[in-house]
Amino acid sequence: MLVDLNKFKGGCSCLREHEISVKGIFIEDGALERLPELLKDFKKPAVICDENTYSAAGKRACALLGGCLAVVLSPENLHADEKAVAKAAGMLTDDVDILVAAGSGTIHDTTRYIAAERRISFVSVPTAASVDGFVSTVAAMTWHGFKKTLPAVAPEYVLADSGIFSKAPMRLTAAGVCDLLGKYTALADWKISAVVTGEYICERVCSLEEKALEEVSKCSASLAAGDKAAYEKLMYALILSGLAMQMVGNSRPASGAEHHLSHLWEMAVINPPLDAYHGEKVSVGLFACLEFYGKINRAIKDHKIEIKPYGGLDKDFIRGCFGNGSLYDDIIKENTPDPLEKISPDDLSGKLEEIGKILDALPEVSELQGIVKSVSGVFLPEHIGLCGDTMEKSIKAAPYVRNRLTLMRISKMIKF
């Protein structure tokens, strides 16, 4: 299936002209075989993969490109960080004119960062439907210990071969399902912020994402059975989430409080380092977020909510979580200006009912848990090695990792 990119481009009711930089997306059995034709004008392609994805797709990609240079990284301790970038970039020759990312999220982020640095383009070959970042224009990296979103490039083409990614380990697919389900709270946060501060929002992006979410929710059971059509739907929804980020120019449509929790845990400041995939952390973040938002919604409905005047950044608490070093400075810098400063308590008070309506539209916890269970995914803190009592502190600390308004951030102004 060739994805019709015109659905995402052009003028819109949000009054913006949406731009998509990716030239073509193929989601089908055998998509990888299109590689030689698409890259026929390039002289020196190179494939970046790890040892696992080399056998799944990298080897075939190299063969299709006449035995091109293959950068095969060791999957052990491989993260999208300055070390992976140095290692992969060091193995590339100067004359490489296009890259092929054959792998999942880490390989993609590493490749897209190197491609941007070298001002060349890359082709995405996802080997698992494990994250939504394949067509992202930014790279989610850990740079010297700090989780950062760095400027990068989107792929020129995506060749999502269902013959390859439907055979990925189920744990990776489950992580993709969970990364996708995280869009429920991400979109709710975006809508709430638009209501509270008048932040820009695009209804078209929201409804495109919601439709794709529904489709995947309906066919999640078929994933466990290995049904290629269900895998293609999941991949489409994940890619669409990436396109939504391209349309808007940032990760707002794909990342809210549930991702902030995941980023916080990745920083390992209030918890030990976790051995879990991005989507697994998002899943635990999503359910913590749903529970917390559910409490706020009940308090709104019962009129048991009080708006507190905002007292500014709680620097003692931030120091207690992030320490006194450069991480503390980074967090303060990230939170300047403080997104809560522009919210007046009176204004917020008048918006509570509308916030409640947005929260009413969130799916039931049991429904989402059913989907996660159907793909043998994780959803409880202990599933990823977090102590249950870390959660309360996490909910307080996570909003500080990004300068982005979420209901979790707004909750610092409410008592319930």
Rule CB under 5 A: is residue 313 a binding residue for Zn ion? no
Which residue lies nearer to Zn ion by CB, 4 or 94? 4
User: Binder to Zn ion among 3, 72, 202, 244 (CB under 5 A)?
Assistant: 202
String marking each residue 151-190 x if it binds Zn ion according to CB under 5 A: ----------------------------x-----------
Rule CB under 5 A: is residue 201 a binding residue for Zn ion? no
Residues 238-267 that bind Zn ion (CB under 5 A): none
Convert the chain into a string of H (helix), E (strand) and C (coil). CECCHHHCCEECCCCCEECCCCCEEEEECCHHHHHHHHCCCCCCEEEEEEHHHHHHHHHHHHHHCCCCEEEEECCCCCCCEHHHHHHHHHHCCCCCCEEEEEECHHHHHHHHHHHHHHCCEEEEEECCCCCCCCCCCEEEEEECCEEEEEECCCCCEEEEEHHHHCCCCHHHHHHHHHHHHCHHHHHHHHHHHHHHHCCCCCHHHHHHHHHHHHHHHHHHHHHHCCCHHHHHHHHHHHHHHHHHHHHHCCCCCCCCHHHHHHHHHHHCCCCCCCCCCHHHHHHHHHHHHHHHHHHHHHHHHCCCCEECCCCCCCHHHHHHHHCCCHHHHHHHHHCCCCCCCCCCHHHHHHHHHHHHHHHHCCCCHHHHHHHHHHCCCCCCHHHHCCCCCHHHHHHHHHHHHCCCCCHHHHHHHEEC
Q: How far is the CB of 5 from Zn ion (least distance, A)?
A: 15
Query: Which region among 14-22, 63-71, 142-150, 211-219 touches Zn ion (by CB under 5 A)?
Result: 14-22
Q: How far is the CB of 154 from Zn ion (least distance, A)?
A: 16
Query: Which region among 145-153, 166-174, 204-212, 343-351 touches Zn ion (by CB under 5 A)?
Result: 204-212
| Number of residues near Zn ion (by CB under 5 A) | 5
Which residue lies nearer to Zn ion by CB, 28 or 179? 179
Which residue lies nearer to Zn ion by CB, 32 or 362? 362
Rule CB under 5 A: is residue 204 a binding residue for Zn ion? yes
Rule CB under 5 A: is residue 192 a binding residue for Zn ion? no
Which residue lies nearer to Zn ion by CB, 121 or 241? 241
Rule CB under 5 A: is residue 109 a binding residue for Zn ion? no
Rule CB under 5 A: is residue 14 a binding residue for Zn ion? yes
Residues 354-393 that bind Zn ion (CB under 5 A): none
| Residue ranges binding Zn ion (CB under 5 A) | 12, 14, 179, 202, 204
